[in-house]
Amino acid sequence: MSSPVTLVWFRNDLRLADNPALSAAIARGGAVVPVFIWAPEEETPWEPGGASRWWLHQSLVSLDADLSRLGTRLILRKGPTLDTLIALLRETGADAVHWNRRYEPQVIARDTAIKEGLGRQGYGVESHGAALLHEPWTVQNQSGKPFQVFTPFWKHCLGKPDPSEPLPPPGKMRAPGRWPAGVELSSLGLEPGIPWAGGMKNAWTPGEDGAHRQLETFLKGGLSDYSDQRNRPDLAGTSRLSPHLHFGEISPRQIWHGVRKRATAAPAKASATKPSGAFERMAKSSLPDAQNWRTSQFLAEVGWREFAHHLLFHFPKTPAEPLRQNFTRFPWRSDAALLKAWQKGRTGYPIVDAGMRELWTTGWMHNRVRMIVASFLVKDLMISWSEGAAWFWDTLVDADLAQNTLGWQWTAGCGADAAPFFRVFNPVSQGEKFDPQGQYVRKWCPELARLPDNWLHQPFEAPAAVLKDAGISLGRTYPEPVVLHGTARNIALDAYARVSKGTS
């Protein structure tokens, strides 16, 4: 009797280590055929954006190279997915398909239909959990309902047994007796000449090796100061693991146990300053150690990723609708010129413009600055959070539907555990606090580089002589503010008050 042949359907799990679907397929004892199927139309309206497609292209190149070192290869095909899987099963003589689960509403519906369709054809199908520490349906409050506040959610998660140790990478894989044909990666059209691709190439190393190098760099050089430096865009204080996590080049279990091993091997370091920022309530110490590493600020941020997927799973309409229904009446402004000024980093507020230019150049933006630019769009410009979410979706290399939705609804005040709407970030004071020497603004807004620190974040208030000495002509070399923050804040708060009272 011949050994079984198994298809492994790769999706957002582009790694060999800690890949449950791959490990289970290998454990069957027969040949394994790794496949990737490009069918973005099956994820409409949230098919991958431009920056995500660029990253996906590079990650598929890396995965194929990793597989080739094991004597196998990655088969690329175009959808429809169900028809393609059936064709591959027949061409290879395989009798089963394994994959790792995803949690976006459209993908869940598609995967359910595929599982049923393959089952009707008599094929074996098994899905695995690989993208989260805990499956969304296994975390419930005392009433058996989903959590809508982060702190009790994460406390509940921390009360569960630690995630199991990551699975090792395969040492070898059996190739099938006959290989099916595939298409060339270039035919998928993942690199359609994106204007900002050059900047992304300089900023990132997609792939499993790049992900683990980034984790190791962070654990050695950034973890100990994370609570103090994570809000400083002028410093290398964050892990920059988000795109690697989104594409599954590294798993949250690998990060969890990486922190554990680092913490239990390193002596504790006293925190110099009090942690600050939106999530400071979960910070217990600056350096995880053998006693407190589970409640460290960095793992709490991994927890926010878990929380985002928990919410998306239980509230699948939130990518398009506010969780708090009273916000459906909010009088959002439709202004193409203001939206474009925000998108292109031409608002006249340096910290906002620096963030939007960093995004356009590298496909990424520091998290503190994400909150600042988001607040500016929805509260200073009164433009809907959905417009911001759509722009981030297309331009972020870590564009993740769950986290993008949570972040924008958090800022707009219309989601779960959201910041209150009346919390309006002042772009001047935020810049002065988190970019005190102006290194971040000077990097991304070089036309302001010669301004003294005390005027850098508010050039529109600088004396004419100071602007002249710095070579700045407001409205010509750098834009004047598109709105006055104080006035815009009052307009937004008045609109919110009317919505809250039901008078709008």
Active site residues: 301, 304, 332, 367, 385, 408
Helix-, strand-, coil-residue percentages of the chain, each rounded to 5: 50, 5, 45
Bridge partner residues of 99 (DSSP): 9, 127
- Pair 327, 409: CB distance under 8 Å: no
How far is it, in rounded angstroms, from Cα 239 to Cα 261?
A: 16
3-class SS of residue 76 = strand
How far is it, in rounded angstroms, from Cα 240 to Cα 237?
A: 9
- Pair 267, 226: CB distance under 8 Å: no
CB contact set of 475 (below 8 Å; sequence gap of 6+): none
State the DSSP H helix or E strand holding residue 97, giving kind and residue range, or none if neither. Answer: strand 96-100
Tell which phi-psi region holds residue 417, choosing left (phi > 0), alpha (psi between -120 and 50) or beta. Answer: left
Least Cα distance to 36 among 4, 17, 16, 63 occurs for 63
Cα separations in angstroms, 126 against 96, 255, 444: 8, 25, 47
Residue 241, φ and ψ in degrees, nearest 5:
-95, -5
What order of strands is seen across the sheet that includes strand 32-38? Answer: 75-78, 32-38, 6-10, 96-100, 124-128
At 489, the amino acid letter reads R
- Pair 271, 230: CB distance under 8 Å: no
Q: How many residues make up the chain in this entry? A: 504
Q: Are strands 124-128 and 96-100 parallel, antiparallel or unpaired?
A: parallel
DSSP string for 9-29: EESS---STT-HHHHHHHHTS
How far is it, in rounded angstroms, from Cα 504 to Cα 502?
A: 6
Positive or negative, the Cα torsion across 372, 374, 375, 377?
A: positive
The two structure tokens encoding residue 231? 């809000």
Least Cα distance to 408 among 391, 427, 395 occurs for 391
Residue 203, φ and ψ in degrees, nearest 5:
-95, -20
Residue 265, φ and ψ in degrees, nearest 5:
-100, -10
What secondary structure letter does DSSP report for 238?
S
